[in-house]
């Protein structure tokens, strides 16, 4: 049977609908609205309380993050601005006792001369260098130089026409050999090396450079790298207490 277009107003159902509509509707209690509003208020209080708790936790986490970022253990560099030039120079020494001409501290052909300059700078930084805090650096530097000396007494890795490497290594060994507490072998190595120093007029120029490091050829000083420049700075008159 197809339902009528408007079953509620279908005449056969009129009496039934009338009866249905006459069913008594329940009355809300006197506190109905008040109950809802109270429930709503407590619900909002709980919500604000939860939001407040979340906000507090978020603030605490932000604070912890800020503290962590402030005290984040940053990468420690070997060279610090608080360090003295001597400490910086010692920190630049490689584990094989040498100082490098390269910025990345890798071996280079200037290393013998740079190591010699660094040893000289450390020697001249203290009145009793082999008893000072730089003693180990000096001894390991000299040990490295001695390893580069060949059987004839020449320090290898001569660069160009001017034997800076040999000259500076000889001066470093020679100076160290004269210190209290020096190894006797150093003197013997110095004597062997002295035989191969350049002619007197050339040697005078080199001595003048060493006595006044600012006269070192800039090209060589630049090529010798930061450790050499720091050593030359320490060897300048007025900087080194022994010059």
Note the residues at the interface with another protein (CB under 8 A). Answer: 3-8, 10, 12-13, 16-17, 19-21, 23, 25-29, 32-33, 35-37, 39-40, 43
What residues have CB less than 8 Å from 23, skipping those under 6 apart?
Answer: none
- Choice between 16 and 136, CB closer to another protein: 16
Residue 72 beta carbon to another protein: minimum distance, rounded to whole angstroms = 42
- Choice between 49 and 106, CB closer to another protein: 49
- Choice between 6 and 76, CB closer to another protein: 6
Cβ atoms of 108 and 226 closer than 8 Å: no
Beta bridge partners of 237: 240
Cβ atoms of 162 and 116 closer than 8 Å: no
Residue 24 beta carbon to another protein: minimum distance, rounded to whole angstroms = 9
Closest CA to 235 of 182, 185, 172, 184: 172
Residue 58 beta carbon to another protein: minimum distance, rounded to whole angstroms = 23
Residue 57 beta carbon to another protein: minimum distance, rounded to whole angstroms = 24
What residues have CB less than 8 Å from 85, skipping those under 6 apart?
Answer: 230, 233, 234
Residue 7 beta carbon to another protein: minimum distance, rounded to whole angstroms = 4
Residue 73 beta carbon to another protein: minimum distance, rounded to whole angstroms = 47
Question: Count H helices, E strands: the chain?
Answer: 10, 0
According to DSSP, residue 59 is labeled H
- Choice between 11 and 218, CB closer to another protein: 11
Give me the phi and psi of 149, to 5 degrees please: -80, 130
- Choice between 34 and 215, CB closer to another protein: 34
- Choice between 29 and 152, CB closer to another protein: 29
- Choice between 36 and 136, CB closer to another protein: 36
What residues have CB less than 8 Å from 212, skipping those under 6 apart?
Answer: 236, 237
Beta bridge partners of 149: 155
Residue 55 beta carbon to another protein: minimum distance, rounded to whole angstroms = 19
What residues have CB less than 8 Å from 138, skipping those under 6 apart?
Answer: 119, 122, 123, 129, 130, 176
């Amino acid at each position: 049977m197809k339902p009528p277009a408007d079953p509620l107003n279908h005449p056969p159902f009129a009496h039934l609908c009338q009866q249905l509509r006459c069913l008594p509707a329940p009355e809300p209690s006197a506190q109905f609205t008040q109950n809802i509003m109270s429930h709503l208020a407590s619900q909002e209080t709980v919500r604000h309380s939860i939001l407040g708790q979340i906000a507090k936790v978020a603030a605490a986490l932000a604070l912890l993050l800020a503290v962590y970022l402030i005290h984040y253990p940053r990468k420690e560099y070997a060279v610090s601005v608080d360090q003295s030039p001597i400490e910086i120079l010692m920190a630049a020494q490689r584990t094989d006792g040498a100082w490098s001409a390269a910025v990345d501290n890798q071996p280079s052909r200037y290393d013998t001369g740079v190591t010699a300059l660094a040893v000289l700078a450390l020697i001249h930084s203290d009145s009793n260098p082999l008893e000072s805090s730089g003693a180990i650096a000096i001894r390991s530097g000299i040990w490295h130089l001695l390893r580069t000396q060949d059987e004839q007494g020449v320090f290898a890795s001569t660069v160009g026409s001017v034997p800076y490497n040999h000259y500076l290594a000889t001066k470093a060994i020679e100076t160290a050999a004269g210190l209290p507490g020096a190894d006797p072998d150093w003197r013997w190595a110095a004597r062997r090396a002295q035989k191969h120093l350049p002619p007197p007029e050339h040697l005078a120029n080199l001595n003048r450079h060493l006595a006044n490091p600012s006269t070192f050829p800039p090209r060589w000083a630049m090529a010798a790298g930061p450790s050499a420049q720091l050593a030359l700075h320490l060897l300048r008159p007025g900087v080194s207490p022994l010059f």
